Structure 1
Amino acid sequence: MELREPLNTLITEPTEYTKHLNFPDPSKIRLYDSTLRDGEQMPGVAFSPGQKYEIAKLLSEMGVHIFDLGFPFAALSDRRALQLIVQGRRKGDIREDVEFLVMCRSTQSDIDITIKTLEDIGVSLSEVTFFIFTSGSDLHLKYKIGRALLRYEGRDVSEWLDLPVEFYREANLRMMCETISYARDKGVTAVEFGGEDGSRADLDYTIKLAKAGYDAGGTRYSFPDTVGCFTPEGVDHYIPRIVKEFPGEDLVVHFHNDFGLAGANTVRAMSHGINIPTCTANGLGERAGNAPLHQVVMMLKMLYGVDIPGFKYDYLIRVRKMVEEYSGIPVGAHEPIIGEGVFTHESGIHTAGLLIHPAIYQVIPPELLNRKIQYVFGKHTGVAAVRDVLNRPEYVAGLERDGVKVTKELIDAVMLFVKDARQKRTRSDSFSNVTEAYYREYHRLGITELRLVELASTIGRLMREGLFKPSGVEEGEGNTNKK
C-alpha cells in the first residue's frame, strides 16, 4: 500500500536525536578490518593463505580501507598470506588505496625480524604500516610485561614485585618510544602505536603515552578496549579527551565484545570524533569477538545518518557467508542485520502489518542488503499472510489449474493445518540433535587440553626414537574451501 503522507511525517526518525553529535566528515572515515588477524584468533579458526586472500578481495570490493594482517614473522602461512595480498594490490585485485598493517611488540628485535621477513617475501617498508603495541594499564605494565621492562632497564627481575607502578609506567614509555624511533630510523614510513588494556588505564597516563608516541615518530594512535569491559559512559570519559588532545589526527579505536557493547561503543566513540573504527567480519575475534563490521556500518547509516562513501552495504551478506564457510563459525539466525531470520516473519500480527506497509514492522530496507522480506508459516501464522500468498498471481494460476479456488474456507483450513504441523515438530527432538551436532563440530575446530597432552606424549616417544619430524603443514597455501 502507498502511504498518503510522507513516511517521515508519520514517525520520529532515530536521527532526530543524533544531529548534534560530533561525527567526523564521512569522507574521513576509514574502516579498519581485523578479521584476518584478531578474527583468526577466535578459538578454532584458522584461515589458509588462499582463504585470507579471498576474504581480503571481497572486503576491498565492499569498501574496507585498512587490513590488519598480523605478525608476518610468526608463521609461514601468515607470511604467504601477506605476500599474496600485497601482490593482489599490485595487480589490481585489491584497491590501490587499501592500507596493510603488520603487528610488532614494542621491542627492537620484533622490528628487525619483521623487516627481515618483509624483505624475504619481497614486500617493501613503504607498502605496510607497522603497528607497535605495548601495555597501557597498570595491571598490564607491572604484571604482564614488568619483567621485560626490568630487563630493558638493566634491572634484576628479583625486583619485579617490589617496585612501584610509576617505575613501570616510565620504563614503558622509554621502551615504546625507543622502538618507534628505531623503526623510523630503519626506514619504516608509517607507525601506528598504542597500549593494550587502554579502557582500564589511567587517562592521564594514556594521554602521556600517546603524546610520547607521536613525539617519537608514531603516525597514528590506537586506543583499545582489550577485555571488552567498556561502557558508553566509559567511552564518554576517555574519548573526548583523546580527541581534544590530538586535533586533526587520525585516531583508531579497537573494542572487544564481551558484554555485547563493542559495536555500540565504537559508534559512540565515533560520535566524539574518532574516524577509524576497528571491526571484524561477523564479529569474529578473541573470546566474544570484536565490534561487528555489519553492526557498525549499519548503525552509522540507519541510526545516525552517517553514510560511508563508496561502501557497498549489499556485500555484507556475501562477506558473512564467505567468512562463515572459511571459519566454520556460523552466524546466529537472529544476528542483527545479517542473520537469516532478520527479514523473516511468522507472527500473524506482524505479517498483517507488513502487508499494509513494510515500515510498520521493518526499519531496515531489505533492498539495501540485497534481501527480501519473507514469511515462514507455523505456530504463530495468521490469516492475512496465508491469504496474501495464496492470492498472489504467480500462485493463483497453478491453483486454478489444479481446480482449486482460493476461498475463506481454504485459507482457514491451510492455516490450521500449518499450525498443527508445526506444533507436532516442536515435540520432536530433531532441533536438539542439530544443536548437539553443531557444538560437537565446534569443539573439533581446535585441540582440547586433554588431546594436547596425549599428542605431547605420543610425539615425545617418537622423538626419543628418532621417528618424528615436523610436517611443515603451514607451507601450503591450502584450499580456499574450509575442510
Structure 2
Amino acid sequence: MAVKRIEIMDTTLRDGEQTSSVSFSASEKLTIAKLLLEELKVDRIEIASARVSEGELQAVKDVTNWASKNNHLQAVEVLTFVDKGVSINWMLEAGAKVQNLLTKGSLNHLTHQLKKTPNQHFSEIEENIQLAEKHGIATNVYLEDWSNGMRNSKAYVFEFLEFLSRQPVKRIMLPDTLGVLTPQESYDFIKEIKDLYPNLHFDFHAHNDYDLGVSNVMEGLKAGADGLHLTVNGMGERAGNAPMASSIAVINDFMPEIEIGVNETFLFTISKLVETFSGVMIPSNKPVVGANVFTQTAGIHADGDNKNNLYFSELMPERFGRTRQYALGKSSGKANIQKNLQELGLQLNDEDLKKVTQRIIELGDKKQVVTKEDLPYIISDVLDRTYEEKVKVNSYVLTHSKGLKPSTTVSITINNETFEESSQGDGQFDAFMNAIKRVFKKKKLELAALIDYAVRIPPGSNSDALCETIITWRNSSGEFKTRGLDSDQTVSAIKATEKMLNIIVS
C-alpha cells in the first residue's frame, strides 16, 4: 500500500486566537511557535493576520527573527488580504516570507461582501501574487467559504481553481469556514477537486460547529487532501477548529496509508501550555488531552486491567506523555484501590483493605472523586480506630449567620444513653464543643482539653479536597492525638473529637 505524506499546519496562533477573549502576548506567541515547530514538529504554523496591530507586528517580528536563525522561516505563515499591497508591505516589515492570501471561495461572499465580479476578483488576486513574488514572498491561497461555494456556486469554485492553476501558488486552502460540511460532503467535494487537479496541493481547513471536525478531517484525507489545518485544543472562532490531538491520534491509529511527522508524545504538553497562556480550560473529558480520559473509575475496569489489560485500547496514555489513573470514589472496588496503593508503595491486608474500600465509598457519596493523594489520609483515619465505640455523635446542625453567633444542636449517645443539647460559640466547632460540654456536665464526665488543632489537605489538592484535622488533647493520662477526615473542615474536626470521646469514656 502506497503511503502518502501529509502536511500538518497549526493555526493556533492565528485562527485559534480568534477564540473569544483570547490574545497571546508576543513572548507567548514565540514560545508556542518554537514548541510547535521544534517539539511537536508540525510542518507549518500560521501565526498572525497582517495589519492587525502594532503588538501583532512585533510578535511576528520576534517569531520570524527566531525562525530565520533556525531554518524555519519558510514554515511560518501569515494571513493576508487582497488590499493593493498593504498586507505585502506589512509582511516585509515583519520579515515573513509566506502569505496565506484570503480570497472569496463562494459567489455569495464575492457578490454581497465585495460586490465584484469573478474577473475583477481574479485580476486583483493576480496582482497581489505578482507583487508578493517580486518581493520574494511565497503565496498560498485561502478560498473563504469554500464549503458553501461547493454547495451553491460550484461553477464559480472551479472557474477560480482553473485560474489558480495558472498562478505561481504553492498551496490552495479549502476552508469549511462556517463548519457546515458533513463527512460525506467533505469527501465528495475534495475528491472532485483532486480528480480534476491531481498535481495541485490542497489543504483542508475544518471547523467544528457540528462536532464533525475530526470526522471531516478523516474523509478529507481519504479524498486526497494534501494538508490539514489544526489547532491545539481545537481553539478557534465559535465552536473552534478541528482539534490537533484527536486528529493526530485518529490518523496514526486508523489511517495507515497516511504519514505525518507530528510527535504525538508532545501533544499533552503543548495542550497544557496553550491552556495556561489562553486561559481557556480544557474540558476534563476532551479526548487525548482531557484530565479524565485516561482515568478508570469503575472497579470492574481496574480488575480487568489487572487480569489481562481487558479495558485497554490502542489509545494508550503513554503515547501522549501521560499515565493511566484509577479513580477512587463510590464506584471504586478493591482493584482500583490496590492500583493506587501499588503506585504509593503501600500494602494492606484483606481486612484493612475492606475497611478502606468502605470508607472511600462513603466519602465518594459526598465528594465525586477521591484522589490518590487522599489515600494515605484515609488509611490513617480508618486504621486509627483501635477503640471500642462507646460514644456516637448521631447528628448535628451547624449554623453560621452574619451578625449572629454560630450555634449547634447535637444528638450524642454515650453507653446507650442518648442526649441532645444546643449551644453557641465563637465558631461552629466551638459551638459544637460547648454543646458536648453540657452533655458531659450532665453525665459528670470530664472532657479532655484541646491543646493543638491542625488542618491539612493532600498536596496539590483543590478546594473540594479531603481535609484531615489532627487535634492534640490532654487529660489526666497525658497528651494524645486524634484524626478526622472529611471534605468539610468542621465535620473532620467533629470526627476527630468523636474519637477523643471514645478514648476517654470508660
- In the superposition, the TM-score normalised over structure 2's length comes to 0.68
Distance, in Å, in 2 between the alignment partners of 1:51 and 1:298 is: 26
In structure 2, relative to structure 1, the CA distance for the partners of 1:216 and 1:363 (3 Å cut) is: closer
Q: Which has the higher contact order (CA 8 A, sep 6+)?
A: 1
Q: Deviations over 1:334-379 (max 9, x none)?
A: 1001111111111122222122233534331222112111111101
Contact (CA 8 Å) 1:239, 1:269: kept in 2 or not? yes
Gap change, CA 1:196 and 1:392, over 3 Å in 2 = closer
Equivalent AA in structure 1 for residue 144 of structure 2: E
2:68 corresponds to: 90
Tell me what 1:481 maps to: none
2:311 paired with 1:338:
no
Partner of 1:180: 129
Q: Distance in 2 between matches of 1:59 and 1:388?
A: 35
* AA at the equivalent of 1:406: N
Q: How many angstroms does 1:43 deviate by? A: 0.8
In structure 2, distance between residues paired with 1:107 and 1:134:
11
Identify the residue that residue 148 of structure 2 maps to in structure 1.
Answer: 200
For residues 206 and 147 of structure 2, the distance between their equivalents in structure 1, rounded to whole angstroms, comes to 9
Q: Does 1:25 align with 2:25?
A: no
Q: What is the aligned partner in structure 2 of residue 268 from structure 1?
A: 219
SS at match of 1:69: strand
In structure 2, C-alpha distance between the alignment counterparts of 1:208 and 1:434, rounded to whole Å: 60
- Counterpart residue number, 1:115: 88
**Superimposed CA distance per residue, residues 104-137 of structure 1 (whole angstroms, 9 cap, x where no aligned partner):** 22231xxx2233334434x2xxx51122222122
Report whether the alignment pairs 1:296 with 2:218.
no
Q: CA deviation at 1:203?
A: 2.7
Name the counterpart of 1:73. Answer: 51
Q: Contact between 1:314 and 1:370, CA under 8 Å: does it hold in 2?
A: yes
CA contact (8 A) 1:66 1:100 kept: yes
Deviations 1:296-350 (A, max 9, x none): 1110001223564543211111101110011000111110011111111111222
Percent identity over the alignment is: 26
Q: Which residue of 2 is the match for residue 45 of structure 1?
A: 22
Matches within 5 A, 1:447-462: none
CA contact (8 A) 1:196 1:226 kept: yes
> 1:106: which partner in 2?
82
Deviation at 1:170, TM superposition (A): 4.1
Distance 1:283 1:392 in 2: 33
What does residue 244 of structure 1 align with? Answer: 195
The Cα shift of 1:392 comes to: 6.9
Match of 1:135 in 2: 104
Letter in 1 for 2:7: R
**Separation of aligned partners in 1, 2:234 and 2:349:** 46
- 2 CA distance for matches of 1:421 and 1:189? 63
Secondary structure of 1:114 counterpart: helix
Contact 2:188/2:223 (8 A) holds in 1 = no
1:243-302 per-position Cα deviation (integer Å, ceiling 9, x unaligned): 112213221111111011112211211112212100111111011111111111110001
More strand by share: 2
Q: Which residue of 2 aligns with 1:425?
A: 367
TM-score of the two chains, using structure 1 as the length reference: 0.71
Secondary structure of the corresponding residue to residue 395 of structure 1? coil
Distance in 1, matches of 2:272 and 2:74, equals 22
The CA deviation at 1:47 is 0.3
Contact 1:176 1:213 in 2 (8 A): no
One-letter amino acid of the counterpart of residue 425, structure 1: K
**Equivalent residue, structure 2, for 1:229:** 180
Q: Which residue of 1 aligns with 2:354?
A: 412
Query: Which structure has the bigger radius of gyration?
Result: 2
Equivalent position amino acid for 1:197 in 2: D
Structure 1 CA distance for aligned equivalents of residues 77 and 349 of structure 2:
62
- Cα deviation, 1:78-116, whole Å, max 9, x if unaligned, reads 111111111112332xx53751112222231xxx22333
The CA distance in 2 between the partners of 1:384 and 1:256, in whole Å, is 41
Equivalent positions of 1:301-340 (< 5 A) are 301-305=252-256, 308=259, 310-340=261-291
Deviates more, 1:133-142 or 1:415-424: 133-142
Report the Cα distance in structure 2 between the residues aligned to 1:426 and 1:392, rounded to whole angstroms.
21
Cα separation, 2, equivalents of 1:183 and 1:131: 11
Q: Which amino acid aligns with 1:422?
A: G
SS at match of 1:252: strand
Q: Which residue of 2 aligns with 1:60?
A: 37
Whole-angstrom CA distance in 2 between matches of 1:102 and 1:64: 16
Counterpart residue identity of residue 8, structure 2: L
Partner residue of 1:16? Answer: none
Equivalent residue letter for 2:88: I
1:214 CA displacement: 2.8
**Map of 1:36 onto structure 2:** 13
Provide the residue aligned with 2:409 in structure 1. Answer: none
Answer whether contact 1:255 1:265 (CA < 8 A) is retained: yes
Q: For residue 178 of structure 2, give the secondary structure of its aligned residue in structure 1.
A: coil
State how many pairs are aligned. 368
Indicate conservation of the 8 Å contact 1:65/1:97, yes or no.
no
Q: Distance in 1 between matches of 2:97 and 2:308?
A: 50
- Give unmatched runs, 5+ long, in structure 2: 370-461, 465-506
Q: Distance in 1 between matches of 2:284 and 2:239?
A: 17
Instruction: Tell me, yes or no, if the aligned pair for 2:48 and 2:56 is still in contact at 8 Å.
Output: yes
Separation in 2, partners of 1:336, 1:393: 27
- 1:78 corresponds to which letter in structure 2? E
Alpha-carbon distance between aligned partners in 1 of 2:144 and 2:78, rounded to the nearest angstrom: 16
The residue number in structure 2 matching 1:373 is 324
Q: Structure 1 residues 315, 393: closer, same or farther in 2, change over 3 A?
A: closer
User: How far apart, CA to CA, are the structure 1 residues paired with 2:344 and 2:31?
Assistant: 41
- Distance in 1 between the 2:344 and 2:170 partners? 62
Q: 1:418 to 1:189 in 2, by over 3 A?
A: same
